[in-house]
Amino acid sequence: MKVCVLFLTHQSNASIIDHFDSIELPPGWSKYLLVDENSCAVSEFGDRSVVGFCHESLVKVGYHPISGTLIPGSAHFPVIEFAYTRKVDFVWAIEFDVQWTASWLDFFNEFDDYADFLATRVRRYETDANWCWWDSLKPPPGATIEWNHPNASLASFNPIYRLSAAAVCALRKRFLLGWSGHCEVTIPTLLEQDGLVVADMGGVSGFTPNAQRDRIYTFETMQWRPEFSLQDVPTFEPNLLYHPVKH
Q: Name the residue type at position 130.
A: N
CA dihedral over 37, 161, 222, 104, signed as positive or negative: negative
DSSP symbol at 74: -
Beta bridge partners of 40: none
**In a structure prediction context, what are the per-residue pLDDT tens digits for the chain, which is 247 residues long?**
999 999 999 999 999 999 999 999 999 999 999 999 989 999 999 999 999 999 999 999 999 999 988 888 999 999 999 999 999 999 999 999 999 999 999 999 999 999 999 999 999 998 999 999 999 999 998 887 877 666 678 999 999 999 999 999 999 999 999 999 999 999 999 999 999 999 999 999 999 999 999 999 999 999 999 999 999 999 999 999 999 999 8
Q: How many CA atoms lie within 13 A of 65 on its CB side?
A: 20
| Separation of alpha carbons 53 and 37, rounded Å | 6
Would you state the pLDDT for residue 147? 72
E strand or H helix that includes residue 93: strand 90-95
Q: Which of 234, 208, 203 is nearest to 221 (CA)?
A: 203
pLDDT recorded at residue 23 = 98
pLDDT (0 to 100) of residue 247: 86
What domains lie within the chain, and their CATH numbers? Answer: 3-246 (3.90.550)
Distance linking the first and last C-alpha atoms of the chain? 33
What pLDDT is stored for residue 228 in this prediction?
97
Between 183-193 and 165-177, two packed helices, what is the crossing angle to 10 degrees? Answer: 110
CA angle, corner 106, sides to 104 and 107, nearest 5? 60
Q: What is the pTM of this model?
A: 0.96
Give the pairing type, strands 245-246 and 154-164. Answer: unpaired
Report the amino acid identity of residue 30: S
